[in-house]
């Protein structure tokens, strides 16, 4: 369905996208997960035809942008990161405007108003909408042409949990009803985990890992996380190494940190003994299963949202 082969894109010195291969089959929801500057937007905009790769191939349903731009515009629905529509146009007028580009009639506009739950707001100027309503409008515009492929760039960034949830519900409904294929960029791991069967973790223009949530997490077997705070200071190289540590991050001050270990049951006693040995006391301790964020830390040493 969507096939990206060895795509590169540079902006001056910066390698925004540095050799990416990706395949998304029909009906799959995929999330591009990564921190700001990971190259997610550049990759998505190349798939949208808004940017052109320096090298490499992008094919959508077997068609490339060079020769099939017109066709592709018709089968793709998209929302860009923070598009602002015309302030003094109403929701309904904005939808009508975009519907005219696709040659759609009023019936579809009314369906969309229902779908993205903006019926009550249809006479409001865009400038008076809340952040969540604007994002739903952007989503509604993306869905106008009943797209087979949906490309959403950070559709929920900056929204409160309720507004985010509303968008998720719309997307989940679409998945069951229309078998839409979707690529979504996000830096919220819960969003990726909830909506998408494929998760693609990106950093610095490259794909670090991809697969289902379970596949990704099981790459590090039963990776588990010890997150702690102490009343004193420790250094990373002091940690006991008898059991395998996958990754550890200690704050520069040395009084808090996270250790990702393969086997919590055997490591935790060692860690507690070590703290005691150092004549320190724990002020906080939490042990949990690894999440995507931890996975990202394990791979890059940084948090996702940094």
Q: Which stretch binds another protein (CB under 8 A): 82-90, 181-189, 222-230, 265-273?
A: 82-90
* 3 state DSSP class of 278: coil
Stretch that binds another protein, among 9-17, 69-77, 215-223, 237-245 (CB under 8 A): 69-77
What is the nearest approach in angstroms of another protein to the Cβ of residue 126? Answer: 11
Size of the site for another protein (CB under 8 A): 29
Structure tokens, 115: 């779908």
- 283 lies in the site for another protein, by CB under 8 A: no
Residues within window 112-171 making contact with another protein, judged by CB under 8 A: 125, 141, 145
Q: Number of C-alpha atoms within 13 angstroms, CB side, residue 158?
A: 11
Name which of 7 and 92 has its Cβ closer to another protein.
Answer: 92
Q: Does 89 bind another protein (CB under 8 A)?
A: yes
Distance CA 158, CA 126 (A): 17
282 binds another protein (CB under 8 A): no
Comparing CB distances to another protein, the nearer of 70 and 214 is 70
Taking CB under 8 A as the criterion, the residue among 6, 36, 55, 83 binding another protein is 83
Among 12, 70, 107, 252, binds another protein (CB under 8 A): 70
Indicate whether 252 belongs to the interface with another protein (CB under 8 A).
Answer: no
Cα–Cα distance between 234 and 244 in angstroms, integer?
Answer: 19
What angle, 0 to 180 degrees and rounded to 10, lies between the N-to-C axes of helices 106-115 and 131-143?
A: 140
Of 88, 123, 235, 241, the residue at the interface with another protein (CB under 8 A) is: 88
**E-only strand ranges, 67-212:** 76-79, 149-153, 181-186, 198-203, 206-211
Q: Which residue has the tokens 């507690």?
A: 272
Handedness of CA 66, 94, 26, 217 (dihedral sign): positive
Partner residues linked to 8 by β-bridges: 18, 55
Could you say whether residue 59 binds another protein (CB under 8 A)?
no
212: left (phi over 0), alpha (psi -120 to 50) or beta: beta
Q: Residue 55: phi, psi to the nearest 5?
A: -150, 165
Residue 16 sits in the site that holds another protein (CB under 8 A): no
> Which of 55, 100, 218, 231 contacts another protein by CB under 8 A?
100
CB of 96 to another protein, least distance (A): 6
- Work out which of 29, 85, 188, 220 binds another protein, going by CB under 8 A: 85
- Interface residues for another protein in 32-51 (CB under 8 A)? 48-51
CA angle 110/30/40 to nearest 5° reads 100
* Residue from 26, 57, 84, 251 in contact with another protein (CB under 8 A): 84
> 8, 15, 63, 96: which one contacts another protein (CB under 8 A)?
96
- What is the rounded distance in angstroms from the CA atom of residue 121 to the CA atom of residue 269? 58
Among 80, 171, 184, 202, which residue interacts with another protein (rule: CB under 8 A)? 80
The percent helix, strand, coil of the chain (3-state, each to 5) is: 40, 30, 35
- Residue numbers at the binding site for another protein (CB under 8 A): 48-51, 70, 73-74, 76, 78, 80-86, 88-89, 93, 96-98, 100-103, 125, 141, 145
């Amino acid at each position: 369905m969507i096939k990206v082969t060895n795509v590169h894109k540079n902006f001056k010195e910066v390698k925004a996208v540095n050799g990416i291969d990706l395949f998304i089959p029909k009906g799959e929801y995929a999330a591009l997960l990564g921190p700001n500057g990971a190259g997610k937007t550049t990759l998505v905009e190349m798939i949208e035809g808004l940017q052109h790769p320096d090298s490499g191939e992008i094919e959508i349903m077997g068609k490339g942008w060079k020769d099939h731009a017109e066709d592709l515009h018709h089968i793709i629905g998209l929302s860009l990161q923070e598009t602002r529509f015309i302030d003094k146009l109403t929701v309904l007028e904005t939808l009508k405007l975009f519907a005219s580009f696709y040659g759609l009639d009023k019936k579809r506009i009314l369906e969309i108003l229902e779908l993205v739950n903006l019926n009550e707001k249809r006479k409001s100027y865009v400038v008076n909408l809340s952040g969540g309503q604007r994002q739903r409008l952007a989503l509604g515009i993306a869905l106008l042409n009943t797209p087979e492929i949906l490309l959403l760039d950070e559709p929920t960034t900056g929204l409160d949990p309720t507004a985010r949830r509303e968008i998720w519900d719309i997307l989940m409904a679409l998945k069951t009803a229309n078998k839409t294929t979707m690529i979504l960029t996000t830096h919220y791991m819960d969003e990726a985990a909830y909506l998408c069967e494929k998760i693609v973790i990106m950093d610095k223009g490259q794909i670090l890992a991809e697969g289902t949530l379970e596949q990704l997490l099981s790459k590090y077997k039963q990776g588990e996380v010890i997150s702690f705070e102490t009343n004193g200071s420790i250094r990373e190289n002091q940690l006991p190494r008898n059991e395998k540590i996958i990754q550890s991050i200690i704050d520069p001050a040395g009084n808090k940190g996270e250790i990702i270990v393969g086997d919590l049951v055997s490591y935790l006693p060692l860690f507690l003994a070590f703290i005691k040995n150092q004549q320190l006391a724990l002020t906080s301790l939490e042990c949990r299963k690894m999440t995507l964020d931890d996975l990202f830390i394990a791979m890059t040493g940084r948090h996702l949202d940094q």
